Structure formats: structure tokens, C-alpha cells
Structure 1
Amino acid sequence: MIAPMILALAVVAAQQTVSQPLTLEQAIAEAEAHAPAIDLADADSDAAAARTDQARAAGLPSATLTGTIGIGRLDPGGFFGLPAADVTPRAAQATLEQPLFTGGRVSAAMARARAGERMAGAAGDGARADLAAQVAEAYGAVLIAEEQQRLYEALVATTTELARHAQNRFEVGDAPRTDLSQANARLAEARAQVAAAHGAMRVTRARLANLIGRDPGTLAPLPAPPAIPADLEATILAAEESSPAVAQAKAGLDAALAAERGAKAERLPTVGAFAEASTVRDQFFPGYRADAATVGLRARWQFFDGGRVRGQVAEASAGVRGARAQLAAARDQMQEAITAAHAAVESSALVEQAATEQRAAAQEAARNVRDEVKVGQKPQLDLLDAEREATAAGVFALRARADRVTAGYRLNALLGRY
């Protein structure tokens, strides 16, 4: 009895959740949980962490166990009076080794792997921030398309009524055919705009659905633009510390420097401690047995390699120069992109303010013209134009708002914020 009640409550709660409008913040969270690009970034990050573990393991003890076993016949040929016999030759050896000196190979490999982890992490931050900006843009596009359709449908209703009045006045000889033709032309234009808005809405909703992994349903109004640094200089300074592109370039330089150290370390010997234990049976004559245990040091130094290490060092040094150039380019590109994005944020705020004022003025003008047409002070064409301008101003105001929100997310994407 309790289980059905719980199930019913869960269904009701799910229905209430579904019926609630989707907010931009929720859309971004759903997109992050759905996006293949985020899964790829996470997989790259996990792989980088695994490479760090591999590099660390090279400096830790290792234990190896080897063994062989066979079956055959051994004939000593009468040596020591031993007869031929069936034997089962077998051997086993256990080895424990601990590197003591590697010339810097292990530390260089670990530094390179850790730099790879930072590169993967920065790439993941960049992917998430860019995804948030994409969702904000798609979210705003859906709201714009929906508002366009609503406003143009209202314009169709208004224009249809005006066209009907023009038809009636024309039939009684109170209006010229020009008024009727102009009203019908405006009506056809409004219907075309409704059709275009409907198509745009389908396209934009499909884009948002692709990002979040489901039909977005009803959307909540656009939120306030995201917070950004106060001025351009502060934004550029913040980008130097948090920009994913710059962070990747810095980590790339660290990786190149570590690779250079690792290449130079190949010139030095390696020293390690070892302990071995072995056992052998039936190897040389029937009944043969031998056991051994050894503890010692093992060193290896390749003092001539035909120029192999010299070539590796030269290659790594060239990689360092290339990484420095990439870091300089990343900083220049970051500064250019930040400047453009910050300007877009500032200009979009001014455009939104102007568009809001334009919408209010156009709506007031339409109301005034409507009253003036009723008393015959202005022709019907003026009202058709006023209604069209008011509708266009309403769409422009919403687009300006969406552009401002998107500009904020685009700037934050360059800063690695999401």
C-alpha cells in the first residue's frame, strides 16, 4: 500500500518538475552532463593522470618473477656414471629492483606528465566555458524566435483587422484602392514574417535540444548578464591567470622544458639496487638442483651511441623554442580576444538600453497613431507602419538583451569561467 503511494507522489513530483520552465543555468548544467565534448575532455584528463602514475612508477621498486618448466629426456652419456632418464627441467627466479640514480630521467618524466595533466585540465575548463557560451547563445535564440512568432502573430491579427476596415471603406467609396492594396501588402508581409519566425523557432529549438540532450520545453526569461571584471585592464590580468588557452600554452612550455631535461639525462648512467633469488631443477643431469640468492648494485652507462642522444637533445631544445613561441602567441591572441569580447559586452549594454527605449517609444507611437487614425487625423497607412515598427522594436529589444547575455558568457569563456 505504501509503495503505490510513493510511486504516485514521485510521478506527481516529476510532472511538476517537467512543467517548470527551464532556466539558463539548468540548461548549462544539462548540457555539461550530456555533451560528448565534455566526456572527451574528461577522458583526456583521466589519461593524463594515468600517464603521471606511469612516470612516478618508474622511480619505485619493481618485482619480477620468471619461471620455466618442461618435460624431456636427458642422457649424460655415462658422464659421472649417470644413466639416461626422463626429467622435468624447471627454473624460477624472483628479482626485486629499486632505482637509486637515473640521472634525472624519472623526475623529468614526472614533470612532463604533470604538465600534461595541467594541459588536459585547462582544455576541460575551456570546453566547459565554451559550452556554457554556446548554450547561452542557443537559449537566447529560442526566446528571440518565440517572441518573434508571438509579436508577428499579433501583427497579423492587427493587420487583418486593418485590412478588413480598408475593404469595408473601399466598398462604400470612403477609401481609395491604394489603402486597400497597402493594407493587403502589409498583411502578406506579416504572414511571411510569422512563417519565417516559426521556421527559426524550430531551428533554434533543435540546436538547444542538441546541446542539452532533450526537448527544452518551456524556457524561463533570460537572466541578468553574468558578472565580469570591472574594466579591460582587470580582465586582461585575470585572463593571464585563468585563460584556458594561456594555461595550456604555459603547461606546454613546462612539458617541453621537462622533455629537454629528460633528453639530457640520457647522457648519464643509471644505478639501482637489486635482490634476486633463484632455484633450478633437472637442468644439466637428472636430479640436478641449485638455489641462489644475490644482493647487489647494478649500473648501466651507454657512453657512445652514435649521436642518438645529441639528436634527442637538439629536438627537445627546438621544442622548447616552439613552446615559448606558442605561449607568446597565445598571450597575444588572448589579449586581442579579450579586448574584442570586452568591447562587445560594453557595446551590447548600450545597445540594449537604446533598444529598450526604442521599444517603449515605438509602442507609444503606435498607440498615438491608432487614436489619430480613429478620428481621421492620419491615414491608415501610418498605423500599418507604426504597428510594424513597434513589432520590429520589440524583437530588436529582446535580441539586444540576448546579445548582452551571450557576450558576457563569451567573455567568461575566454577567462575559463562557466
Structure 2
Amino acid sequence: MGDGPAPLEAEDSVSKFGNDGTGAVKKAVVLAAGLLFGAGAATAQTTLAEALANAYVESGLIEQNRAVLRAADEDVAQAVAALRPVVSWSSNIRRSFGTTGADQTSSLTGQTSFVERSSVDQTTGISLAAELVLYDAGNRRLNIDLSKESVLATRADLVSVEQQVLLRAVQAFMEVRRALDQVELRQNNTRVITQELRAARERFEVGEVTRTDVALAEARLSGTRSALAAAQGQLEQARAEYEAAVGDAPQRLVAPQGLPSIPPSIEQAQRIALANHPDLEAVQHNVTAAELGVMIAETASKPTVSLRGEYGITENFDNDDYSRSGTITLGASGPIYQGGALPSQVRRARAQRDQARAGLINTSRAIEQRVTNAYASLRVARASIQATRDQVRAATVAFDGVREEATLGQRTTLDVLDAEQELLDARNTLISAQVDETIAAYAVLSAIGELTARSLQLNVPIYDPSAYYSLVKDAPAGLSRQGRELDRVLEAIGR
């Protein structure tokens, strides 16, 4: 994509496609904002860049998937630890007691008597054991590689989630802008219809129009008020979605003055998407992980060789008796027959590998389709903008002319109302088309995998997915220097 997307600065960025301001149609909504957001918001402004930055920082979904990534990093640490010897200890204190009874014959008198004896024995022991697997057909090293592929796939999934969060924030921002403009448009329309109704009543009083003209104006005003109420309801819904997507209530939202840079053609965008999209990258790593899974399943039928050493001490509390002993064992084991479970595991792993490979094809096609759809939406929005601008100009001229002719008695009140409604519809369509163009442009960035905080150059601390991995990849012990550093990191993130 050349030099990549331009920095996202809503106030200063210059559109690659020109300035698409609407003049009188897209003017500032100071009055509407003051009424709907309160007097305290009169001086607060929020740009699209600021909204995206806040969404990135405050997103619980991103934080949730960062935790998922940290868990995947720990899988690597556990797989690495499996290569190392396992050392364990055990200890015990044992008290034995009992009573025995038996007939005894005296050697002196020859008489037999029953004799009971009690015994108490107290011992303590401690032992150490160490075991190291010397050979397992590469099973544990394959598990390390499998864990690393899972980490890479999870990192790509985290980027995909980041894109979802930012695209949702763009949509929420622009939908509030759309709702604000529509509310202002409906308010203006209500004022115009009210003026037309007043004029119709005055003309009726002097006999220039009939009662029908007045009734038409009254009906149109009622419909306009209903439409205004609906627009205000849509604005409240848009504000609620904005707060959920961005993490903060909307203030005065500054309309973006330009669009981000995107590839000039669908073909080029598809090439970039197939090279960079995180969804595809995640599936590619999943395919590699599935292939490793087949190799791991095949090693389950191979023998395992291990070395085990034990050393123990036992002492008696009642006397000075003690014993010390140790053993070193070199052992080998392997399956002979498990009812067909091992071949079944291999077949299952191969089926999962085939599933992952098919998913890679499906994901590639879905990404190409997503790019095509995004460009189609962008082209439709631009064509609509061009057409509706001409329509707005023509409808404005027509409305002014019809209203002037009505004052001269050459047009009816219905003609004026119809002309005003046509102008309203044209302006409303233009507002929606401009909002749709901005959303579609960012949807293109999402489709090619470049709707990220780094690509947009948002003013936020960029999360480094490899930082935690670097701390845990060697499975540090809790008392080591690296382990203490890891504890400080976990404390910093509130864990």
C-alpha cells in the first residue's frame, strides 16, 4: 500500500479524494449539541482520532484478548519446563505402637503363663527424587513448537479484535454525527413548516386559499414533528452505542475533514489483504499447529526412556538406628495395545489438519470478498454524494421558486410543502451518503488488515504482544531475577 495509511488526525488531515463538505447542509450543530449534550459540553470537542484512541485504551474486549494471549504465552513456558528434570521431595513422621500376648513356659519351674508386651516405635524419614526424560521421540519439543504457533495465532487474533473495536468506534462516531445532522435537519424542517402553516392561515383569513390548504400544512407539520421525535430517538440510541464502543459519552463530535489513504484498486487491496490480514495470519499458524498435532499423535506409539534417581534417610527417635539409601533407575516404556486408541488419535489429528487447511482457503476467499464489498460500498457512497449534491442544489432552487410563486398566488400550499419535502429528502440522503463514505473507507482499511492503532498512528501507548512472552518463554522460576521481574509486571497490570 505504498507508504501505508496516513496519520489519523481529523482536524488536520487532508483527504486524498478532496474536501466533501456540505456547506449549508453540513454546518456546525452548536444549537443541537447544546440542547442534547448539556451546557457543559458546549466547549468540549472530540475528534475521530481521539474517539479511536479512547476506544483502544478503554476496550474491555481488547484487554480480555490480551489476557488470552498471556495464557498462550504460559503454554510455551510449560512446554519448555517439560524438557527439564522434575525434582520432588517427601517426608513423614511415623509412630507405631501395639501389644502382643503369648503363652510362655518357665525354664525353671516348667509352668506356663500368658504374657503381654507393649511396643512403641517412632521414626522420621525424608527423601528426594529426580526424574528426567531422555527420549520421547521428540514429543515434548514438538509440543514447544505447537505452543509457539498457538501464540502467533493468538497474537493475530488480538490484532483482529483491535480492528473490530476500532471499526465499531468509527461506525459509532459517524452514526452520532449522522443522527445529529438529521435532528438539526428535522428541526429546521419543523420551523419551515411552521412558517408555511402560519402563512397559509394568514392567506386563508384574507380568502386567498381554502381551508384545505391550511389542513394540508397542519398535517405536514404533525408528520414533521413525528419525524423529529424519531430522529431524536435515533440520536439517543447512537449515543448509547458510542458510549459502549468508545467508553465515554459523546461530546461535540468534530466531523472528519478527510478520509484515510487506501489502495487505488480492488486488486491491489486484495493483494495487501492476503499478505497482511490478521485473520489469515491466524489461520496459517493454526494450519501449522494442526500439522504439528499430527506429528505429536504419531509419537504417542513410540517408546519413552527416562532416568530416575532417589535418595532417602530414615531415623528412629527411640534409639540411634538409622538408614540411608538411594537408587538410580534407567527405564524404558511404551504402549503395546490400547484398543485402537492410538491410531484413532492419529486419524483425528489428520482430520483436524485437513479442517485447518480448508479453513485457510475459506478465510482467503472471505477476505477477498470483504475487500470487494468494502470498495463497492465506498463507490456507492461517492456516487450518491455526487448525485445528491446536484439534487440538493436543484431542489433548493425549486423550493425558493415555488415559495416565491406561492406568494404571488401561482402555487398552492401543497406545491410548497412538496418542494420543501423534496429538498429535505435530498439533504438527508446527502448526509447519509457522506457518513457512509467515511465508514466505508475505514471498512476498506479493516478489510486489508490496516485498521490498527499503529497504522493509524493514534496517540496511545501501543501494546507490545511480545513483551510478556519474552519474560516467560524460558519458564523462569519464581525466585529468579526474571521471575521477580515478571511479578512486577503482573502487579503493574493489576493481576
Secondary structure of the structure 1 residue equivalent to 2:364: helix
How many Å separate the matches in 1 of 2:41 and 2:219?
Answer: 45
Gaps of 5+ in 2: 1-38, 102-116, 453-495
Q: Deviations over 1:212-253 (max 9, x none)?
A: 233222222135333322211122222222223322322221
Aligned length: 398
Secondary structure of the structure 2 residue equivalent to 1:280: strand
1:141 equivalent to 2:175? Answer yes
Aligned CA-pair RMSD: 2.9
Are the structure 2 counterparts of residues 76 and 411 from structure 1 closer, same or farther at C-alpha, using a change threshold of 3 Å? farther
The Cα shift of 1:369 comes to 3.8
Secondary structure of the structure 2 residue equivalent to 1:88: strand
Write out aligned runs for 1:53-132 (5 A): 53-73=77-97, 86-132=120-166
1:27 equivalent to 2:60? Answer no
How many Å separate the matches in 2 of 1:235 and 1:71?
Answer: 79
How many Å separate the matches in 2 of 1:121 and 1:292?
Answer: 51
The aligned residue for residue 39 of structure 1 is 63
Q: Deviations over 1:246-270 (max 9, x none)?
A: 2232222112111111111112222
Secondary structure of the structure 1 residue equivalent to 2:256: coil
Q: Deviations over 1:297-322 (max 9, x none)?
A: 44333344443322211111111112
Write out aligned runs for 1:251-266 (5 A): 251-266=285-300
**Contact 2:41–2:251 (CA under 8 A) maintained in structure 1:** no
Secondary structure of the structure 2 residue equivalent to 1:96: strand
Comparing 216-225 with 325-334, which one deviates more in the overlay? 216-225
1:50 equivalent to 2:74? Answer yes
How many Å separate the matches in 1 of 2:341 and 2:145?
Answer: 23
How many Å separate the matches in 1 of 2:127 and 2:307?
Answer: 16
How many Å separate the matches in 2 of 1:326 and 1:20?
Answer: 47
How many Å separate the matches in 2 of 1:335 and 1:29?
Answer: 28
**Contact 1:273–1:297 (CA under 8 A) maintained in structure 2:** yes
Q: Which amino acid aligns with 1:342?
A: Y
The aligned residue for residue 188 of structure 2 is 154
**Contact 2:46–2:253 (CA under 8 A) maintained in structure 1:** yes
Q: Deviations over 1:90-142 (max 9, x none)?
A: 22222333433221111221222222222322222222212222222222221
Are the structure 2 counterparts of residues 84 and 411 from structure 1 closer, same or farther at C-alpha, using a change threshold of 3 Å? farther
The Cα shift of 1:196 comes to 1.3
The aligned residue for residue 409 of structure 1 is 442
Match of 2:430 among 397, 414, 417: 397
Are the structure 2 counterparts of residues 356 and 273 from structure 1 closer, same or farther at C-alpha, using a change threshold of 3 Å? farther
The aligned residue for residue 336 of structure 1 is 369
**Contact 2:42–2:252 (CA under 8 A) maintained in structure 1:** no
The aligned residue for residue 361 of structure 1 is 394
Match of 1:315 among 324, 330, 348: 348
How many Å separate the matches in 1 of 2:163 and 2:82?
Answer: 36
The Cα shift of 1:168 comes to 0.9
Are the structure 2 counterparts of residues 356 and 85 from structure 1 closer, same or farther at C-alpha, using a change threshold of 3 Å? farther
**Contact 1:222–1:402 (CA under 8 A) maintained in structure 2:** no
1:172 equivalent to 2:206? Answer yes
**Contact 1:24–1:223 (CA under 8 A) maintained in structure 2:** no
How many Å separate the matches in 1 of 2:267 and 2:125?
Answer: 72
How many Å separate the matches in 2 of 1:74 and 1:278?
Answer: 26
How many Å separate the matches in 1 of 2:100 and 2:320?
Answer: 12
Q: Which amino acid aligns with 2:80?
A: R
**Contact 2:41–2:252 (CA under 8 A) maintained in structure 1:** no
How many Å separate the matches in 2 of 1:306 and 1:180?
Answer: 91
Match of 2:312 among 268, 273, 278: 278
How many Å separate the matches in 2 of 1:213 and 1:286?
Answer: 73
Secondary structure of the structure 2 residue equivalent to 1:71: strand
Secondary structure of the structure 2 residue equivalent to 1:410: helix
**Contact 1:94–1:278 (CA under 8 A) maintained in structure 2:** yes
The Cα shift of 1:399 comes to 0.9
Are the structure 2 counterparts of residues 413 and 305 from structure 1 closer, same or farther at C-alpha, using a change threshold of 3 Å? same
**More helix by percentage:** 1
The Cα shift of 1:206 comes to 1.5
How many Å separate the matches in 1 of 2:435 and 2:86?
Answer: 60
The aligned residue for residue 269 of structure 1 is 303
Q: Deviations over 1:347-386 (max 9, x none)?
A: 2222223233333333343344444444555444333233
Comparing 295-304 with 236-245, which one deviates more in the overlay? 295-304
1:163 equivalent to 2:197? Answer yes
How many Å separate the matches in 2 of 1:120 and 1:394?
Answer: 46
How many Å separate the matches in 2 of 1:84 and 1:277?
Answer: 33
Q: Deviations over 1:367-408 (max 9, x none)?
A: 444444445554443332332222222221121111111112
The Cα shift of 1:21 comes to 1.4
How many Å separate the matches in 2 of 1:263 and 1:94?
Answer: 33
The Cα shift of 1:291 comes to 2.2
The aligned residue for residue 383 of structure 1 is 416
Q: Sequence identity, in percent?
A: 26
The Cα shift of 1:282 comes to 3.5
Q: Which amino acid aligns with 1:48?
A: A
**Contact 1:74–1:286 (CA under 8 A) maintained in structure 2:** no
Are the structure 2 counterparts of residues 303 and 17 from structure 1 closer, same or farther at C-alpha, using a change threshold of 3 Å? farther
Q: Which amino acid aligns with 2:286?
A: G
Q: Which amino acid aligns with 2:84?
A: L
Comparing 163-172 with 356-365, which one deviates more in the overlay? 356-365
**Contact 1:103–1:269 (CA under 8 A) maintained in structure 2:** yes
Are the structure 2 counterparts of residues 76 and 123 from structure 1 closer, same or farther at C-alpha, using a change threshold of 3 Å? farther
Write out aligned runs for 1:3-18 (5 A): none
Q: Which amino acid aligns with 1:67?
A: S
TM-score (norm 2): 0.73
Gaps of 5+ in 1: 1-14, 78-82
